[in-house]
Amino acid sequence: MYTEETIRDIVAAQRKFFRTGETLPVSWRIKQLKRLKEAVIAHQDEFIQALCEDLGRSELEAYLSDIGPIITEVNEMISGLRRWSRPEVHFSGLMCWPSIFTKVYKMPYGVTLVISPFNFPILLTIGVVAAAMCGGNTVVIKSSSKSAASTAVLKKFFAEVFPSEYITLIDGGHDIADMCLAQRWDKIFYTGSPSVGKHVLAEAAKNLTPVALELGGETGNWCVVRKDADLKDAARKIAFFKLLNAGQICININQIAVAEEVAEAFIAELKAAFVAQIGEQAETNEEYPKLITDAAYDKCAKWAEAYRDRIVFGGTGDKATRKYAPTIIYPVDINESIAQHELFCPLLPIVPFKDAEVDALMDTIADREHPLAMYVFTKDMRWANRVMQTQQFGGGCINEVCVHMMVKGVPFNGTGHSGMGAYHGEWGFREFTHPQTVLKGHTHFNLSLREHPYSGKAGDMKMKLLRLFER
């Protein structure tokens, strides 16, 4: 059992190790990343089993969503780290003469805290830890108590692969998390809900600790289907995404706005896509994931019951297995409660709108808290591009879902109530390092421009030179 004292000792041991400078050499970091990758491959069967136990994931879904992306991202870090970490060299400018060049070093923060979630407990733990390692930091992990099997496997994994003064995992509930947050960290990375994100930010503010937050978004991620969209294609992609992890994904579609001119046709295609991919009764399919806890299942079932008269597909579940079928609710007004909250489950409210009034719809969405993701399906690329360049959200797709986060070299991030900071690849390296500017002075040929006197002939001459230099 952890106490404030034991957690404080863990942080002190990591700070002592960090100050030895062992994590600074790039070659050492690459060696650790290679060790991490090899260990993930060696332990993948344990991870897959834990994901099955916690979330009912099939082997293929576990590899697709957790194991494979980790290996891909660590490979990117191994190949890119030397380039990313290279100091930037800048021309200092005539005002700094005779110091011609200034360097910007990418320095690790130091001792970091990573708080990981239950929905992708392997990916969103190891993936973030890899970014922190890439930056040259030590890491203390507070993993979710809800995904108990994954947490147990991860604790054993990190203890076997790395010394505790470099990487260590702390398990436990909210009380342990608060003990962790009470410590002084050099960087905190939290993935989870906006409400807990506010608490993390408030605790970090006590020590002015920089924080990265990856949050689901207070009012959910919108998908907009216009009347000119390829309905069959849109339905197929949306069905796949909503089935993935039973909707427990921070970038998943929370509600769909569908042009009323094609709403009935779209719903027919969406029903067909669900049946084609998971069968008539998803809750009886072994490949279909389950909700994380009884409380999560009960919350989902309660929402569904409140809209029972408008359920046009699904609406069934099995409390014993915690599986609730993908459920289409139609029609839903944009101002109803279910369309204004992140659901994090297989429920799918559909909001009809007049296609000619789509800009008014987008204004309503923009007035709410910024989502983590946005998806639009349309053939009108001018409108789609304008939406993507004017709406505030973390990331998104045009005529596609979720795959934007799988692209190498681009950030995964949120804004406002969907988070702050970014990671994946080089962006993760940047998130876990701070730019440190260093100018090297000289002992000869120094100009006296900055020195007194500032008046008289000398002052006039200095003013002329300053104005000349600043052109």
CA distance 430 to 106: 8
Query: In Å, what is the CA distance from 466 to each residue of 102, 234, 442, 470?
Result: 20, 61, 20, 6
Which of 214, 218, 342, 431 is catalytic? The answer is 214
67 backbone dihedrals φ, ψ, rounded to 5°? -70, -55
DSSP class of residue 371? Answer: P
> Per the residue annotation, which of 180, 223, 250, 345 is the catalytic one?
250
Give the distance, in angstroms, between the CA of residue 104 and the centroid of all CA atoms in the same chain. 27
Tokens of 13: 């041991």
Say which DSSP state 106 is in: E
Distance in angstroms (rounded) separating the CA atoms of residues 67 and 434: 29
214 is catalytic: yes
Ramachandran assignment for 315, one of left (phi > 0), alpha (psi -120 to 50 degrees), beta (any other): left
For residue 189, list its beta bridge partners.
114, 212
Written as one letter, the residue type at 230 is: D
Check: CB of residue 346 under 8 Å from CB of residue 242: yes
Residue of 132, 135, 133, 115 whose CA lies nearest to 124: 115
SS3 141: strand
Q: In whole angstroms, give the CA distance from residue 138 to residue 164.
A: 9
Structure letter (DSSP) for residue 172: -
Six-digit token pair at 296? 């999560």
Residue pair 320/305 in contact by the 8 Å Cβ criterion: no
Provide DSSP, 372-390.
SEEEEE-S-HHHHHHHHHH
Our answer to whether residue 250 is catalytic in this structure is yes
Distance CA 247, CA 278 (A): 14
Q: Tokens 């949306």 correspond to what residue?
A: 238
- The per-residue DSSP string of 21-43 comes to TTT--HHHHHHHHHHHHHHHHHT
Q: In this structure, how many other beta carbons lie within 10 angstroms of the beta carbon of residue 217?
A: 29
Q: Is 420 helix (H, G, I), strand (E, B) or coil?
A: strand
> 457 to each of 50, 95, 448, 453, 467, how far by Cα in Å?
79, 20, 14, 9, 16
Greatest alpha-carbon span in the chain: 91
- Residues identified as active-site: 214, 250
